Structure 1
Amino acid sequence: MTVLQATGLTKRFGSFLALNRVDLQMRPGEIYGFIGPNGAGKSTTIRVLLGILKATEGYAKIFGKDSWRDAVEIHKRLAYVPGDVNLWPNLTGGEVIDLFIKLRGGQVTRRREELIEKFSLDPSKKCRTYSKGNRQKVALIAAFASDADLYILDEPTSGLDPLMENVFQECVLKAKREEKSVLLSSHILSEVERLCDRVGIIRKGEIIETGTLDELRHLTRINIHLRTSNKITDLTSLPGVHDIENHDEDVSFQVDTEKMGEVIKYVSQFGILKLESMPPTLEDLFMRHYEQSGDEGAF
């Protein structure tokens, strides 16, 4: 069973190919991280999924319904937060939150008040007085206060301070516990790493990798910090060892995952006193992809 499925999703703007046969699949209760630099195709993919743009080729389905033809029905069960929220300037934040909840066919509940307090929002102020961060708060409160089955969040914490980012992460994890699904497009890789069950990396309109973080770790290197009783020799000649740095008695380096066993066997003969092994982070994985491709795109 899938909540969201995109198959061969292609979008052209004239001669420009924005999306090239993008495939996505999300299961119920899953948090899916969607990452890539600016211009990679994240927001275009999301707009096609939402029925805002029509795909040139391929199709997208949410809750088993066509994203373009059945957009109105789909949006009754979906909450969307963009990265740059525009609100009605003469309405208060509270009025906008209530409007969004009712547009989805929901009822205003105590959850609304709890979220307003958590996000430290003054709902009595006119939206024209709000900072970017407060506009994001309005959209996030409206989304999480509604009884949605799928949350599509496109750079949702843009403009929020670190404390509010933590509140946002708590809301996402609560949605997961309630078996809701979340598609999270974010430039904050630590956020994606903490929250997401699976990750898709998009580059130049194409999905280049997808899977759990554990499944993707083979694509990059493990960080090793080591102290031995005898000085290690010929470490540079070992296959799979990179970026060696000496720190007094210690040495740190990176190892290709598939060479880990051979490297540990070699260094153990020098008498290991301390060994720290750190799996690659999502940032390591992401940056290695873009270094290999020669892209200069920034988040």
Structure 2
Amino acid sequence: MLAIEIHGLTKSYGRVRALRGVDLAVQRGEIFGFLGPNGAGKTTTIRCMLDLIRPDGGTIRILGLDPQKDPVTVRARTGYLPGELYLDENLTVEEALHLFNALRRGRADWSFVRRLAERLDLDLHQRIRNLSKGNKQKVGVIQALMHRPELLLLDEPTLGLDPLMQREVLRLLREAQAEGATVFFSSHILSEVEAVADRVAIIRQGVIVEVAEIAVLLQRSVRRVRVHLKAPVDSDPLSRLPGVRVLEREDQTALLLQVEGDMDPLIKALAALPVRDLEVERPSLEEIFMMYYER
């Protein structure tokens, strides 16, 4: 059974069409990255999953349930971190987390909550009003994780955190996955998505334009290959290979190539040449993401 199954999801705010037919399928136990700039439809999609807003059309199944028919059960089995978490400023961190736990019928193990707070360097006795934006974000992360939910829906989970805390949150997500949870998270920090996600979806103007494994995206995209040769050669045969373009030539002993798609034809051609050195520059997920948006 899928953790998330969405077909034809549409949502408009007046004349603004936020979602134009979103289709998604997220396997149980995977970490799934949801990519897109502000206004692309990420937050609207997540809110529809929890029945916090109602879509205009389409179907949603979360852990096999319809969130419109059984929202309480869906939310009880889910850990949700909104993009903007509102907390009672007069409460301490501990009081706020106890309130979240009471709403979940006391399902959280409080020793686990303390361990989370220690790992994120968060003082449970501080009042919310005295916390920095980053520390408020830590409260949000803890409340999403504290009851060990089956599904985590996280909207920008590392927003406002310093690099050390970002890495710690990513470790917590991997640990949640190791315990059987499914993690669905949106992020602007593409390097962290690349580090932890199994697959990603790229959403553009309310439509999913790509869903793929990270490795497949990187494999499919354009690479730059710098070849240093022991002696001058004719580079024209290389430029006639499928997907290969010669960008620079230096005395026919140093070539900069652009390769799109399969590297195998180029590797076989280079095997017949006096190659002294070979450098392959792989694109980052950010470059691939920008490529989709430039299109």
- With structure 2 as the length reference, what TM-score do the two structures score? 0.91
The residue aligned with 1:296 is: none
CA–CA separation in structure 2 for the residues paired with 1:7 and 1:166: 33
Structure-2 change in CA distance of 1:75 and 1:274 (3 Å): same
Asked if structure 2 preserves the Cα contact closer than 8 Å seen for 1:11 and 1:17, the reply is yes
Q: Say yes or no: does 1:289 pair with 2:295.
A: no
Point out where structure 1 has 5 or more consecutive residues left out of the alignment. Answer: 293-299
Counterpart of 2:193 in structure 1: which amino acid? V
Q: Tell me the equivalent position of 2:279.
A: 276
TM-align CA RMSD: 2.1
Matched letter for residue 154 of structure 1:
D
Question: Which whole-Å CA distance do the structure 1 matches of 2:90 and 2:254 have between them?
Answer: 62
The equivalent of 1:254 in structure 2 is 258
Matches of 1:250 and 1:77, distance apart in 2: 58
User: Structure 2 matches for 1:98-113, cutoff 5 A?
Assistant: 98-105=98-105, 106-113=107-114
Deviations 1:179-227 (A, max 9, x none): 1000010111111111111111100100011021233345411232332
> Does the 8 Å CA contact 2:239/2:245 hold for their aligned counterparts?
no
Whether 1:135 aligns to 2:144 is no
Identity level (%): 40
SS in 2 for 1:65: coil
SS at match of 2:184: strand
Q: CA 1:240–1:142 in structure 2 vs 1: closer, same or farther (change >3 Å)?
A: same
**Structure 1 counterpart of 2:95:** 95
Contact 1:77 / 1:104 at 8 angstroms: preserved in 2? no
SS in 1 for 2:18: strand
**Matched ranges for 1:6-21 at <5 A:** 6-21=6-21
2:204 match: 203
Paired position in structure 2 for 1:297: none
**Cα distance, 1:263 vs. partner?**
2.7
In the alignment, does 2:5 pair up with 1:2?
A: no
CA contact (8 A) 1:12 1:19 kept: yes
Distance of aligned partners of 1:246 and 1:98 in 2 relative to their CA distance in 1, 3 Å threshold: farther
Distance 1:91 1:142 in 2: 14
Decide whether the 8 Å contact of 1:199 with 1:211 is kept in 2: yes
Task: Rate the CA distance shift 1:135–1:243 in 2: closer, same or farther, 3 A.
Answer: farther
Displacement of 1:144: 1.6
Query: Do the aligned partners of residues 84 and 245 (structure 1) sit closer, same or farther apart at CA in structure 2, a change above 3 Å counting?
Result: farther
Segments of structure 2 that go 5 or more residues without pairing to the other structure are none
Shift of 1:21: 1.1
